[in-house]
């Protein structure tokens, strides 16, 4: 027995059991059900890390908020491209002297992850990258991103430039509220205004290159640096369950070029297959029984007024679903149909997942016999009182007073 215990401990030490249902390469991950803005899975989500080109989500959002006319043109100068080759930064492919619109530059930032486009936006909108980065940090503060600080617009590794996958998810959710950002983020390609080039999404081209099928991924921003590893911020749609998801992964090993993609596919496929909106309470279900008073009906059964759906594992244990009723304990015939009786709180294990308002769904019939039984002693006392009163009147009449004159 002792040897068996020792062997189990050795196995646990050498082969630790993962706390996560999905075996992924990324060190950091967070998954949201966007229908409810609810975190459904996470891993090291608040660890401060480098986020590579996922930085450009904030770059694009801040730029959009400072652009008055998306179709205004600017001419790209040498300053836009300074230092990009030396930093080995990814570029969209714009040229010195090229006239482009702000719309072109926005697509250039998000689709091919162009540092040239990011630099151009910073220079033309703020006058310098430093000033523009100040705007980015102000926006981060406005969104409550306490674990985020930017030092550049591109996401290149730099001391003091960090975020978390949770903060990246928050900034992406905010950015997707903007129609312009959402349209760009979900695009696979874009032809620039002068027709000289077509920009392609790094996400879609990478999926094609590695023969990976994920049509349900609506859009995404990839990224990689030495510190950040391979990263991906994406959104996906489960058409069977009508659920939108948002996923951010980071620090997948650089040793394989597609780990960030296969991680996303694993996670989305797992949740599409195993999770959805479960009908934990069905309309008409008998929820509980209340006592009645003065009625032909001895009990009143409260039934669920509507279906109640909750996002759960397909194999959830229905015995984990419990209810707590708060309201009137006894029903009488004097209550009108539609009267509010109280509320039902619905719990999954110890988590409150919803509340239902409960009303009286039909008139309770009055019962004379029940009334008589309920108040028999009162009736007897009244009857005795009446008899005594009659006896007093009959046998002890009041004497007439004689008035003297």
Query: How much helix, strand and coil, in percent to the nearest 5, is found in the chain?
Result: 35, 25, 40
Structure confidence at residue 11 (pLDDT) = 39
Structure confidence at residue 7 (pLDDT) = 38
CB-based contacts of 29: which residues, under 8 Å, 6+ apart?
41, 42, 43, 44, 45, 165, 247, 248, 249, 250, 263, 267
Per-residue pLDDT of 167-193, as tens digits, reads: 999 999 999 999 999 999 999 999 999
Structure confidence at residue 291 (pLDDT) = 82
Domains and CATH numbers, the chain: 21-277 (3.40.710.10), 282-359 (2.60.410.10)
pTM of the model: 0.82
Structure confidence at residue 300 (pLDDT) = 84
What is the distance between the alpha carbons of residues 56 and 284, in angstroms, rounded to a whole number?
51
Residue the block writes with tokens 């039934």: 303
Per-residue pLDDT of 365-385, as tens digits, reads: 766 655 665 556 666 776 777
What is the distance between the alpha carbons of residues 50 and 224, in angstroms, rounded to a whole number?
9
Query: Annotated active-site positions, please?
Result: 53, 56, 113
Mark out the alpha helices in 288-375 (DSSP H runs). Answer: 368-374
What is the distance between the alpha carbons of residues 124 and 128, in angstroms, rounded to a whole number?
8
By residue count, the chain amounts to 405
Structure confidence at residue 16 (pLDDT) = 35
Mean pLDDT, rounded, of the chain: 89
The pLDDT profile of the chain, 405 residues, written as one tens digit per residue, is 444 334 333 333 333 333 456 899 999 999 999 999 999 999 999 999 999 999 999 999 999 999 999 999 999 999 999 999 998 999 999 999 999 999 999 999 999 999 999 999 999 999 999 999 999 999 999 999 999 999 999 999 999 999 999 999 999 999 999 999 999 999 999 999 999 999 999 999 999 999 999 999 999 999 999 999 999 999 999 999 999 999 999 999 999 999 999 999 999 999 999 999 999 999 988 888 888 887 777 888 888 899 999 999 999 998 999 989 999 888 887 888 889 999 999 999 989 999 999 998 888 776 665 566 555 666 677 677 777 777 766 676 665 555 555
Closest CA to 155 of 103, 223, 93: 223
Assess contact for 280 and 348: CB atoms under 8 A.
yes
Structure confidence at residue 2 (pLDDT) = 42
| Chain centre distance of CA 124 | 36
Structure confidence at residue 91 (pLDDT) = 95
What is the distance between the alpha carbons of residues 354 and 280, in angstroms, rounded to a whole number?
11
Per-residue pLDDT of 291-344, as tens digits, reads: 888 777 788 888 889 999 999 999 999 899 998 999 988 888 788 888 999 999
Strand pairing of 330-331 and 286-292? Answer: parallel
| Planar angle of CA 136, 139, 142, nearest 5 degrees | 155
Report how far apart, in Å, the C-alpha atoms of 147 and of each of 46, 49, 176, 225 are: 8, 9, 21, 19
Query: Which three-class secondary structure string do you get for 55-123?
Result: HHHHHHHHHHHHCCCCCCEEECCHHHHCCCCCCCCCCCCCCCCCEEEHHHHHHHHHCCCCHHHHHHHHH
Structure confidence at residue 8 (pLDDT) = 36
Assess contact for 280 and 319: CB atoms under 8 A.
no
């Amino acid at each position: 027995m002792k040897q068996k215990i020792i062997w189990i401990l050795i196995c646990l030490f050498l082969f630790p059991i993962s706390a996560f249902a999905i075996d992924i390469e990324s060190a950091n991950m967070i998954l949201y059900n966007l229908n409810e803005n609810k975190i459904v899975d996470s891993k090291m989500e608040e660890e401060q890390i480098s986020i590579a080109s996922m930085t450009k989500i904030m770059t694009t959002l801040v730029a959009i908020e400072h652009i008055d006319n998306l179709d205004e043109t600017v001419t790209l100068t040498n300053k836009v491209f300074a230092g990009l080759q030396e930093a080995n930064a990814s570029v969209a492919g714009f040229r010195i002297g090229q006239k482009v619109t702000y719309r072109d530059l926005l697509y250039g930032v998000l689709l091919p992850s162009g540092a040239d486009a990011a630099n151009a936006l910073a220079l033309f909108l703020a006058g310098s990258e430093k000033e523009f980065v100040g705007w980015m940090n102000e926006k981060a503060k406005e969104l409550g991103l306490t674990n985020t600080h930017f030092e550049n617009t591109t996401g290149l590794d730099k001391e003091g430039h960090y975020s978390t996958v949770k903060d990246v998810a928050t900034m992406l959710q905010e950015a997707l509220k903007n129609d312009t950002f959402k349209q760009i983020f979900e695009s696979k390609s874009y032809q620039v205004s002068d027709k000289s080039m077509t920009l392609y999404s790094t996400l879609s081209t990478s999926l094609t290159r590695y023969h990976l099928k994920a049509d349900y991924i609506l859009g995404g921003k990839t990224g990689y640096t030495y510190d950040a590893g391979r990263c991906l911020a994406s959104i996906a749609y489960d058409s069977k369950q009508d659920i939108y998801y948002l996923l951010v992964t980071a620090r997948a090993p650089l040793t394989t070029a597609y780990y960030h993609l296969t991680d996303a596919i694993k996670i989305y496929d797992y949740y599409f297959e195993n999770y959805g909106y479960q009908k934990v309470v069905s309309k008409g279900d008998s929820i509980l029984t209340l006592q009645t008073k003065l009625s032909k009906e001895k009990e009143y059964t409260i039934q669920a007024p509507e279906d109640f759906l909750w996002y759960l594992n397909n194999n959830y244990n229905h015995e984990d679903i419990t209810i707590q009723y708060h309201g009137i304990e006894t029903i009488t015939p004097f209550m009108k149909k539609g009267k509010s009786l109280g509320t039902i709180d619905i719990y999954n294990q110890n988590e409150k997942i919803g509340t239902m308002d409960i009303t009286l769904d039909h008139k309770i019939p009055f019962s004379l016999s029940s009334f008589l039984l309920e108040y028999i002693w009162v009736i007897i006392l009244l009857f005795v009182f009446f008899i005594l009163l009659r006896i007093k009147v009959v046998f002890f009449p009041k004497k007439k007073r004689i008035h003297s004159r």
